[in-house]
Amino acid sequence: MNRFLLVAVLVIGGAWTLSQPSTVAHANGQASSPAGAGPAETRPKKVRTNTQGFDLDPKGGSQGGVSMGAGSRGGEPSTIVLYAPNLGLTYTLRPLFEWAGQSGNMTFRLYGPDDNEVYEADVTGRGSFLYPQAAPPLKPGDTYRWTIQTRALGLTGPPPSAKFKVISGAQRQQLDQALKQVSGDDKAQQLRRAELFADRQIWYDAVTAYSRLIADYPGDAKLYQDRAKVYEALPQTKELAAHDMAKAKTGQ
């Protein structure tokens, strides 16, 4: 009788054991999950550009109607449009400034943190201006203001104005490290740099990086689409965004 009881107990115990999920102890003392029930995948999420973050002062209205600095006389409103945020960011110490509008004798002016003029240049016949190496150096952490104005002061009102801040501190150090990882000149590395600037809402560098890529690879529709996403962030560059999307669709 005892033999039959022992056999019954062994059979029941074996069946109960088989019904439980198996675990395997690892050297670190942790047990693995049952086969087929592994931990959820932790794939890195793609960073999406927050296009609303390119302008740090979207309601500032500093483009047009600024009475500070040169060109504050009355007259017809300026028709110049600055392709820039009211207050944007730059990483480079030689930003590219772009605009559209009036023609004729034009002057670029840069004002420092105290709104004192620190540099000016003749930009007649241009729609862009790369801050020269020989110009007074920009300082990380400082905020500057730039304008484009016609020299016919009696005919126009105050020139449009935009501000930008040179990134500094931990933000600059982190970007320095990220850029070192993609410091080459091949297309993939250039594209990654453009994405780094766009992901961090650094307007001047993002636009310049995508524009250089488009100049080197004019047949790549994706590059026009990427730059269009940046242009879409500002009311003053939405027309440029539409133009880029049209280029992307037509391939011309």
Domains and their CATH numbers in the chain: 53-166 (2.60.40), 169-250 (1.25.40)
Give the per-residue pLDDT at 246. 96
Output the CA angle 223-148-53, nearest 5 degrees. Answer: 45
Mean pLDDT by 10 residues, the chain (252 residues): 40 40 36 37 40 83 47 62 97 97 88 97 95 97 95 69 97 97 96 98 98 96 97 96 94 66
Is the whole model's pTM more than 0.85, yes or no? no
**Separation CA 236–CA 84 (nearest Å):** 8
Give the per-residue pLDDT at 59. 84
Q: Decide: 161 and 86 in contact? Cβ < 8 Å.
A: no
Give the per-residue pLDDT at 52. 61
**Closest among 242, 202, 239, 168 to 85, alpha carbons compared:** 202
Strand 161-166, strand 87-90: pairing? parallel
Give the per-residue pLDDT at 11. 38
Give the per-residue pLDDT at 220. 96
Give the per-residue pLDDT at 151. 77
Give the per-residue pLDDT at 16. 38
Note the residue count of the chain: 252
For residue 107 the two structure tokens come to 């002057």
**Separation CA 61–CA 80 (nearest Å):** 14
